[in-house]
Amino acid sequence: MRLAEGVFAHAVDLSLWVMVYFDHMSVPQSRGGLAWRARIAADNFLCDVNYDVIKNALQTARKRGWVTNVKRNANPEITAEGRRRLQEIVPHYDSVRVWDARMHIVTYDIPEKHKHDREVLRRFLRTIRCARLQDSVWITPYNPVTLVRTCIQNKGLHGTIIVSDMGKDGSLGDEKLINMLVRVYDLEVLNDRYRIWLEHVEDIDQIDHASLLSYLSILDDDPQLPFSLLPSWWKGDKAYKIAKLEFENIVNKYAIA
């Protein structure tokens, strides 16, 4: 289940994905519940998942209004709220990546007595795809002012937190901007994960459930930097082009107009 853990933090979220995935695979409606359970048991990715785990997770999802009542021998159905939940947790590929051509810097001075606030801020900066340049200095190509301001207000963070930018075509020292981004975002390691995924998909000549979840787990760690800031050897875009059709077909199952 390591692949699932890379995308879905909770069993209930995995259960929502399973519903959408198997609906996409057109599980027969006759004897629906039995067929659905059989598909889970037969799927290579889910073969080590106890069906009761999914069943109990579905009950939790039902209580939260994410699926309809689960009836015996009938396929569970995801609700609009359940689709909205999936939209929040499934990583998406940004094909636009609007950039203002500036690198932005977040610096902070949070007293030791408020070190919990410092950890909260660091975790938040990671979630918005900032990278640590050095202690108390983080960078990102995407303007984080509004997000950081909201975090400070919602979390009641103490200390001084400053967001600034490096100006057009800014850089730090003699290091080229792209080289710096490769280093601080650890892009070589991430690129290796894409490369290995591409080789695996080529070997099996298909995008199965496990392969798709593996791709999404890599995409979830991808900072999705502006295309002009990516190195020439970057394989993330090639991986997306291969996964795109399968991924978008499933995304359309839970997209909300």
Topology (CATH) of 102-168 = Alpha-Beta Plaits (3.30.70)
pLDDT of residue 168: 66
Who contacts 24 (Cβ-Cβ below 8 Å, separation ≥6)? 249, 250, 253
Cβ atoms of 234 and 191 closer than 8 Å: yes
Q: What is the pLDDT of residues 34-93, one digit of tens each?
A: 555 555 555 555 655 666 777 788 889 989 999 886 566 566 788 889 888 888 888 889
Q: What is the pLDDT of residues 197-208, one digit of tens each?
A: 999 988 877 777
Q: What is the pLDDT of residues 180-193, one digit of tens each?
A: 999 999 999 999 99
Give the model's confidence band at 13: pLDDT under 50 very low, under 70 low, under 90 confident, else very high.
confident
Exposed/middle/buried for residue 55 (C-beta within 10 Å: 0-12, 13-18, 19+): middle
CATH class of 2-89: mainly alpha
> How do the domains of the chain map onto residue ranges?
2-89, 102-168, 185-254
Mean pLDDT of 108-120: 92
pLDDT of 257 over the 60 cut: no
